């Protein structure tokens, strides 16, 4: 295991991030797993949070994900803070001696109003986590990943990264931004064997989808299945499998690509 590749994953405390951790663990990666890991939504009281109490994962959640992996270190990190991701990348190098892969999963959803009624806090929070967080991970991880024998950077966008969704313009803007950022990163990596790609999931049965249902005033998540050609919700493990493939040697010729894993999402 001492020569096994090393991956840094953000948003690993639950949902898709936890599924990505499990998939990379199964593929033999050593892992540094990060999450904001606090039971207070984005460090603010619920009544001040744009998602009205939408909870983060906790440190216990993150520790449990790490404990379920063969070789993983859990570290609390807020993707809005460059220094915290720098520390996570430094931890990978210090503990494992290398960093081969970074996967940006951390995100937050908020909205429910037309764009012109969107408040500054919602706009800034969604973009700070979903877009700035990816940028911060690039800056933290790429100096090491560029030296890896098969370096990989994968960011999670969304079906909202390629289309508009009612009441979620800030989220759509951030997720479109992730697509543009990673395509630009792939261009900056010209002449190297390091790849940079985006995965755009559809509706997964996660806490974030439950929050989306709340935003839309729905009783539950089941009706989101009607927007997919397969008429079902995705299991996060299905999306994580695509992420893990993009992190593998088999995907060495794939870069600057946006991969939908959405059961045929139609909007």
Q: Which residue, among 259, 32, 263, has the nearest Cα to 141 in the 3D structure? A: 32
Q: Which positions are annotated as active-site residues?
A: 171
**Domains of the chain in sequence order:** 6-257 (3.40.50.720)
Res. 46 pLDDT band, cuts 50 70 90 = very low
In terms of Cβ atoms closer than 10 Å to its own Cβ (0-12, 13-18, 19+), residue 236 is buried
For 50, the 3-state DSSP assignment is coil
Please write the tens of the pLDDT for every residue from 197-227.
999 999 999 999 999 999 999 999 999 999 9
What would the mean pLDDT of 64-71 be, rounded to a whole number? 98
Q: Which residue, among 157, 151, 147, 163, has the nearest Cα to 183 in the 3D structure? A: 157
What pLDDT does residue 119 have?
94
Query: What DSSP character marks residue 221?
Result: S
Dist. CA 157–CA 259, nearest whole Å:
10
Res. 55 pLDDT band, cuts 50 70 90 = confident
What pLDDT does residue 267 have?
76
20, two tokens = 């990505």
Torsion of CA 127, 129, 133, 135, to 10 degrees: 0
3-state secondary structure 104-159: ECCCCCCCCCCHHHCCHHHHHHHHHHHHHHHHHHHHHHHHHHCCCCCCEEEEECCH
What count of residues does the chain have?
Answer: 267
Instruction: Compute how many other C-beta atoms are within 10 angstroms of the C-beta atom of residue 263.
Output: 21
What pLDDT does residue 56 have?
83
Please write the tens of the pLDDT for every residue from 121-134.
999 999 999 999 99
């Amino acid at each position: 295991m001492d020569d096994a590749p090393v991956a840094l994953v953000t948003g690993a405390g639950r949902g898709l991030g936890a599924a990505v951790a499990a998939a990379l663990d199964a593929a033999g990666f050593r892992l540094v797993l990060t999450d904001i890991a606090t039971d207070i939504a984005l460090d603010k009281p619920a009544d001040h949070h744009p998602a009205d109490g939408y909870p983060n994962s906790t440190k216990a959640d993150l520790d449990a994900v790490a404990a379920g992996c063969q070789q993983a270190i859990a570290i609390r990190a807020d993707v809005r803070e460059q220094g915290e991701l720098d520390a996570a990348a430094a931890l990978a190098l210090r503990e494992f001696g290398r960093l081969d892969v970074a996967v940006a999963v951390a995100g937050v959803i908020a909205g429910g109003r037309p764009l012109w009624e969107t408040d500054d806090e919602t706009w800034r929070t969604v973009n700070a986590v979903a877009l700035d967080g990816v940028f911060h991970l690039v800056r933290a991880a790429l100096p090491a990943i560029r030296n890896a024998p098969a370096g990989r950077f994968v960011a999670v966008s969304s079906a909202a990264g390629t289309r508009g969704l009612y009441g979620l313009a800030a989220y759509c803007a951030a997720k479109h931004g992730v697509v543009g950022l990673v395509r630009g990163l792939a261009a900056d990596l010209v002449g190297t064997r390091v790849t940079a790609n985006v995965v755009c999931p559809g509706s997964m049965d996660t806490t974030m989808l439950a929050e989306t249902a709340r935003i839309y005033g729905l009783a539950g998540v089941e009706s989101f299945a009607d927007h997919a050609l397969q008429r079902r919700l995705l299991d996060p493990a299905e999306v994580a499998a695509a992420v893990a493939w993009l992190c593998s040697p088999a995907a060495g010729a794939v870069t600057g690509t946006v991969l939908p894993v959405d059961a045929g999402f139609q909007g």
